[in-house]
Amino acid sequence: MDTDAPDDLEPEKPSTVTCTKCSAPMEKVKFQNIEVDRCTACKGLWFDMLEREHLDAIKGSESIDVGPGHKEDRAAVVRINCPVCHTPMIRMVDLKNRNVWYESCQVCFGIFYDAGEFREHKEHHVLGFFRDVFNRKERV
Q: In this structure, which long-range contacts are made by residues 89-92, counting pairs with CB atoms below 8 Å and at least 24 apart in sequence?
A: 89/20
Mean pLDDT lowest among 39-43, 51-55, 97-101: 97-101
Give pLDDT, residue 97. 84
| pTM beyond cutoff 0.75 | yes
Residue spans of the domains in the chain: they are: 9-139
Give pLDDT, residue 45. 97
The mean pLDDT value of the chain amounts to 83
Mean pLDDT lowest among 6-20, 78-92, 115-129: 6-20
Q: Is the pLDDT of residue 124 over 80?
A: no
